[in-house]
């Protein structure tokens, strides 16, 4: 018997018992939809949390620190220097590396423009690397020149430009940004105004001898604002500083080395924090592994991602188990349908054997019928899953219902994220799984059909 004959005969046998076949397929449809939709909810939760993390942090960014922890064995790098930075830069998967060097010395840096001034902290970075790590709302990144101070500020830091002759105004920027408003920045032409930064230190060591006045040290440098960083409630790293070229900061330090050393700042060549940008999100794990082997400590948003994935994976396993129960019921229904078909077609099976039909063909006949149920039932179940997924993503009360059932509204309420996500891999994989389960469900009935005695089958069928 040819393959085409087997397939056509199997299809005809299913058509002869339409109602039973349709009811069996309905069970497969329900089982398929249960598996696909429940797993799609887990995929939707993962996508939502990934989007939330992407909004609040750069998933490719790794914060690196010297190894201060106790422990024995392995390499421990307790001082990060330029040599360390060069080694990190050469690691595979690393795109950019820059130290974050803040100069604290007991004095202040005052940035002035027109009638406004801002007492701030200078944070030094490598310009080219910083340009790849941090985005700007407007303006451009500073150049590598050290002839004058070029700086970048966050919108939040710009609020600190105040007129010293007036009472200081306090702005609740958190509430404004939380409500999606624009910050009321001072009326300054930010990019065309002339700036200067003053290094100021007040010495009170001879306070009484100096007529109760501190000795003031001041040194002024020309400056230029080149870019503004978008205000971000989830990132406070640059909210109270002026970001400058690290090489300019070191140059300025050398010019005032005596003062800084007297105030306890020994050097700017040892770094407490270094930012490392991986080339892709997929490279983060490998970069972290290399940093660990090198002997450095680090923090990465991907650690949070991995924890979330474990939690969502547990949820998906539970949801998949529920869907699998439905599929198990459908598999039993297929097996029952096939067994009933054997009892009804006993004479037919006997005649086929007497006419010389091989056991292999008889087995393939029943397995083909089971496979047809899986193909059509699984396909219809997948279509039903896509329609239900669309409804879950676009009907608000259904989204709210899912969040309520899962007791996790935050997990499914991220703006722009879908509640249900059916990837091609999930859809095709589920369909193949259902067909496989259907074929397995037909194995025992096919085996029973092969074991029937030809003469006994003909006699029992009369």
The H or E element that residue 97 is part of is strand 94-99
pLDDT in tens, 320-332: 787 778 778 888 8
In the predicted model, is pLDDT for residue 38 greater than 80? yes
Q: Give the range with max mean pLDDT: 31-45, 256-270, 362-376.
A: 256-270
Q: Is the pLDDT of residue 223 over 70?
A: yes
Q: What is the pTM of this model?
A: 0.67
379, pLDDT greater than 60: yes
> Which of 73-77, 208-212, 391-395, 415-419 has the largest mean confidence?
391-395
Over residues 425-446, the pLDDT tens digits come to: 989 998 998 899 888 888 877 7
Predicted local distance difference test score (pLDDT) of residue 222:
94
48-52, 102-106, 173-177, 354-358: least confident range: 354-358
The DSSP string of 153-207 is EEHHHHTT-B-TTSPPPP--HHHHHHTTPPP---S--TTTS-EEEEEEEEE-TTT
Residue in 162, 164, 161, 139 with CA at minimum distance from that of residue 152: 139
Contact 90, 287 (CB under 8 A): no
């Amino acid at each position: 018997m040819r393959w085409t004959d087997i397939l056509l005969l199997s299809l005809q046998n299913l058509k002869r018992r339409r109602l039973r076949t349709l009811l069996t397929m309905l069970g497969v449809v329900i089982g398929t939809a249960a598996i696909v939709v429940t797993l799609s909810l887990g995929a939707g939760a993962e996508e939502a949390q990934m989007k939330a993390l992407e909004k609040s942090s750069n998933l490719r960014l790794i914060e690196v620190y010297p190894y201060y922890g106790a422990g024995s064995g392995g390499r421990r790098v307790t001082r990060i220097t330029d040599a360390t930075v060069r080694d990190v830069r050469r690691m595979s998967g690393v795109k950019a590396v820059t130290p974050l060097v803040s100069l604290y010395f007991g004095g202040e840096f005052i940035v002035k423009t027109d009638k406004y001034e801002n007492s701030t902290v200078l944070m030094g970075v490598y310009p080219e690397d910083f340009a790849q790590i941090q985005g700007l709302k407007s303006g451009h990144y500073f150049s590598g020149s050290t002839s004058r101070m070029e700086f970048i500020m966050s919108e939040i830091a710009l609020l600190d430009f105040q007129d010293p002759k007036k009472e200081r105004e306090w702005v609740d920027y958190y509430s404004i940004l939380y409500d999606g408003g624009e910050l009321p920045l001072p009326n300054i032409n930010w990019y065309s105004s002339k700036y200067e930064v003053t290094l100021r230190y007040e010495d009170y060591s001879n306070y009484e001898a100096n007529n109760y006045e501190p000795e003031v040290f001041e040194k002024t440098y020309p400056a230029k604002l080149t870019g503004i960083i978008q205000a971000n409630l989830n990132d406070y790293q640059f909210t109270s500083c002026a970001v400058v070229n690290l090489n300019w900061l070191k140059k300025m330090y050398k010019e005032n080395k005596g003062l800084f050393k007297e105030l306890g700042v020994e050097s700017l060549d040892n770094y407490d924090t270094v930012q490392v940008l991986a080339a892709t999100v997929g490279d983060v794990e490998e970069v972290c592994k290399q940093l660990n082997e090198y002997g450095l400590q680090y923090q990465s948003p991907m650690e949070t991602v991995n924890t979330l994935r474990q939690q969502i994976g547990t949820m998906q396993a539970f949801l998949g188990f529920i869907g699998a129960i439905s599929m198990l019921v459908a598999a039993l229904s297929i097996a029952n349908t096939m067994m009933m078909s054997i009892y009804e077609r006993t004479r037919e099976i006997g005649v086929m054997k007497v006419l010389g039909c091989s056991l292999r063909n008889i087995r393939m006949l029943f397995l083909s019928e089971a496979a047809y149920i899986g193909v059509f039932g699984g396909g219809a179940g997948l279509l039903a899953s896509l329609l239900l997924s669309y409804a879950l993503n676009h009907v608000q009360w259904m989204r709210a219902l899912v969040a309520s059932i899962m007791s996790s509204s935050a997990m499914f309420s991220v703006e722009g994220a879908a509640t249900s996500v059916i990837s091609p891999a999930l859809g095709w994989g589920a369909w193949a799984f259902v067909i496989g389960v259907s074929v397995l469900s037909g194995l025992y009935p096919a085996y029973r059909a092969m074991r029937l005695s030809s003469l006994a089958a003909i006699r029992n069928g009369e």
